[in-house]
Amino acid sequence: MANKSFPRGIHPPDLKEMTVDKALEIMPPPERVIIPLLQHFGQPAESLVQKGEDVYLGQKIGVAKTLFSASVHSSVSGKVLAVDDYSHPAGNPCLAITISNDGQERVVQKEAGKDPFSLTPDEIRLLIKDSGIVGLGGAAFPTAVKLTPPKDKPIDTLIINGCECEPMLTADYRLMLEAPEDILRGAELARIACGAKRIIIGIEDNKREAFQAFKKLSSRFYGPASNSGDFSSRELALLKTKYPQGAEKNLIYALLRRKVPRGGLPFDVGVVVQNVGTVKAVWEAASSGKPLYEKALTVTGNGIKNPKNLVVRIGTPFQKVIDFCGGLNDEAEVLVMGGPMMGIAQWTTEVPVVKGTSGIISWKDQQPQREYACIRCGRCVEHCPMALAPTQLAKYVQFDNLAEAEKWGVLDCVECGCCQYSCPSKIPLVHWIRLGKNRVMSLKRKRSS
Amino acid sequence: MAERTFILQSSPHFRDKDSVPRIMYSVLVALAPAFAASLYFFRFRAVALLLSCVIPCLVTEALFLKLRKKPLHHLRDGSAIITGVLLAMTLPPSLPLDSAVIGAVVAIAIGKQVFGGLGYNIFNPALVGRAFLQTAFPVAMTTWIPPVTLKIDIATFATPLASLKFQNALALGTLAPLKNLFWGNIGGCLGETSAFALLLGGLFLLLRRVIDWRIPLGIILSLSIFCGVFWIANPGKYADPLFHLLAGGLLLGALFMATDLVTSPIVPLATWIYALGIGFLVGLIRLFGGYPEGVMYSILIMNAFVPLLNHYIRPRILGERRKK
């Protein structure tokens, strides 16, 4: 049987060979961490600490006050040096807590918790919220919200996203190889929390070893004893290697042939999607009370002297991570947080690692390519995984025709970059569409207020 | 360590290698077999016509770029050369060279640059040039010489389509055999005679994914159905669909003219409408129109609908429900 997939999309060079065989290495905590209060989709957390205060490892230092927010925790033990605005890898500076590391890794001893599998859905969600867990695939959507389906939308399937379709990134792959049991345990907790009946783990077919790692465990059951007879509720699915196979709506279509309605959420088709790293964090929080204060990421590209897969404390400056990988070489012309398709270009190495940092990549840029007028070849339409017409959208935005842009689905764009990748005229389509999204959204806000 | 600076750019940071010039030059490569065939069948005339089209195209393009204060590097994108080659391919081999030059100037000036240059024109520039010549020099544009490979000693003779239309060739049994149509041993425009050479080039473009497969397929389908219906009804009066596919400029049009990226639609559904429309119009003109051949006008007519199709036909977005 052919491996599952979605229509359209692209096949960029994957360039994973630089780090694919590098086991996750734990990077020693740095002398100083800078922990932004906004590391997720939504509102920033509110600071709980003041300058000069002493904090221990894993202490909650920022609290989520609203639903679409996430708490943040200290990734070292030591003293708070500052609570101030600081450069952020997503672009806008934001309030961040700087902590000097005393190197003692002091934690508060927690009493042995209950068996994680005996927790109720509400308890699991509370634990996730308390541990500051957000989607670690890159979008950093608060996980507790994603596991709270509305009452009228029953969930039948939890999809565990092990696609890692971005080129160059291999950290999720290493997690799947090295900690498949933790992922399965965390997945079971997430399944209980959202009330799904089954789990599907989707893996691209260029990661067959990860698939095998899960396959070996297929006779084992992780979860509450009362449920142990039901093995059929966990499935493994091999997906075609294609970008963006791991994009939520495309992954749901590939695995279940269900289409998430325009402007809707996976809830609307009875699905919840979680990244492998996220469910692993859920398990760690439930089993040992460890909040989300470190992150697996890939440091790679021909601009990095010694590419690696690392587990890094949140708040570690990029420079320290890069130094740990031998530093930058002369090829390093571009520095990006994330993957090469959706990552964000950085202007400085002083920004800290945040929860959404899936990679730090640097390479020698291609020769700047000359931009031509659109020749209407239709390649952007042919490759758009959302079935949009990017060239039309870009034109509507250029001519400030926002009504048409909205009608043609500018808000449906997931910014995956397939259009711009395949454009022979080298038009910055995603750039125009992003601008259009911003304008349409602010227009909508104006209209509603 | 000195402060490093990085290139700031918005995602995606990877780009495919394919570019506008690469696409244009692969079209030229795809036209090479057809040009080789014309060289074989019409010898020196092929070279002369080609040069009298390509050179004026480049000169006109350069002149307009200069006038419009645009960078001259656009000359190197290959699009003006394609217009010149395509125009030459659609001209009768015996056409006086000065007429060809006029056609080439019109193709670039009126067909392309007045709209704003590459990417902005509505009509296929080469066909605009040809349509102009058809009107300006109607006799020269419908006078045909036999290929040198056909050892007959007459100054002028008819193309297969003309003999079908005006000489009652089907009833008399003097229609050119399909074998000659396939290899190109017939009268006709410079580059349209050899179906084999055109298919070879078209296949290359399809495999390289430069052209949309829906366009040649749609044209071939609708022409075959249209002509097939009449052929089945009255095979004594109407030629079979295979003849219509191989005769005249159908393959040149379907593979190289209608597929012009700029003047064809971008959304698949619109592309189907466009392609089926061209095939239908070709059939209509060939069977019931005043001209023996209708490929040029069919493509130009459907070109005119492309902006409309692009405007009204929106792809169905993932997750979009049909309106109830």
pLDDT band at A226 (very low <50, low <70, confident <90, very high): low
Residues from B contacting A (CB-CB < 8 Å) are 4-16, 18-20, 22-23, 73, 77, 116-120, 212, 261-268, 271, 310, 314-321
Domain boundaries, chain A: 116-288, 379-448
DSSP A399: T
CA–CA distance from B259 to each of A195, B50, B67, B132, B274 (Å)? 52, 21, 29, 21, 10
B12-50 pLDDT, tens per residue? 999 998 999 999 999 999 999 999 999 998 888 999 999
To the nearest whole Å, the CA of B117 is away from the closest chain A CA by: 9
ipTM over 0.90: no
Looking up tokens 């349509």, which residue turns up? B131
Query: CA end-to-end span of chain B, whole Å?
Result: 65
CA–CA distance from A332 to each of A27, A236, A317, B211 (Å)? 22, 39, 17, 37
Phi, psi of A87 (to 5 degrees): -55, 140
Q: Which of B4, B14, B312 to mutate to test the interface with A (most CBs of A within 10 A)?
A: B14
Distance CA A306, CA B94 (A): 68
Residue of B12, B119, B266 with shortest CB distance to A378? B266
Distance CA A46, CA A70 (A): 10
Residue A335 Cα to chain centre, angstroms: 18
Structure tokens belonging to residue A198: 């089954």
- What pLDDT was estimated at residue B73? 87
A287-296 pLDDT, tens per residue? 888 999 999 9
Distance CA B41, CA B46 (A): 9
Distance CA A136, CA B301 (A): 53
- What pLDDT was estimated at residue A276? 95
Q: Tell me, what amino acid is at A270?
A: G
Distance CA A416, CA A357 (A): 17
Per the prediction, chain B carries an average pLDDT of 90
- What pLDDT was estimated at residue B137? 94
Residue (of A327, A418, A414, A314) closest to A358 by Cα position: A314
- What pLDDT was estimated at residue A432? 96
Whether residue A378 and residue B271 make contact (CB cut-off 8 A), yes or no, is yes
Give the percent of chain A with pLDDT over 90: 78
> Does B198 have pLDDT greater than 50?
yes
CA atoms within 13 A of residue A182's CA, in its CB half-sphere: 21
> Does B324 have pLDDT greater than 50?
no
Which residues from chain B sit within 8 angstroms of residue A436, using beta carbons?
none
Residue of A425, A426, A430 with shortest CB distance to B11? A430
A173-182 pLDDT, tens per residue? 999 999 999 9
Question: Coil, strand, or helix at residue A235?
Answer: strand
> Does B127 have pLDDT greater than 60?
yes
CA-atom Rg of chain A in angstroms: 22
Whether residue B6 and residue A261 make contact (CB cut-off 8 A), yes or no, is no
Count CB neighbours of A121 within 10 A: 16
- Interchain CB contacts (distance < 8 Å): A and B: 161
Residue of A343, A365, A386 with shortest CB distance to B11? A343
Question: Coil, strand, or helix at residue B115?
Answer: helix
Looking up tokens 């899936």, which residue turns up? A358
To the nearest whole Å, the CA of A292 is away from the closest chain B CA by: 27
The CATH T-level fold of domain A116-288 is Rossmann fold (3.40.50)
Whether residue B12 and residue A421 make contact (CB cut-off 8 A), yes or no, is yes
Looking up tokens 């758009």, which residue turns up? A384
pLDDT band at A325 (very low <50, low <70, confident <90, very high): very high
Give kind and range of the element (H or E) at residue A181.
helix A180-194
Count CB neighbours of A174 within 10 A: 23
B261-306 pLDDT, tens per residue? 999 999 999 999 999 999 999 999 998 988 888 899 999 999 999 9
To the nearest whole Å, the CA of A40 is away from the closest chain B CA by: 19
Which residues from chain A sit within 8 angstroms of residue B16, using beta carbons?
10, 12, 421-424
pTM of the model: 0.89
Positive or negative CA dihedral for A24, A29, A34, A37? positive
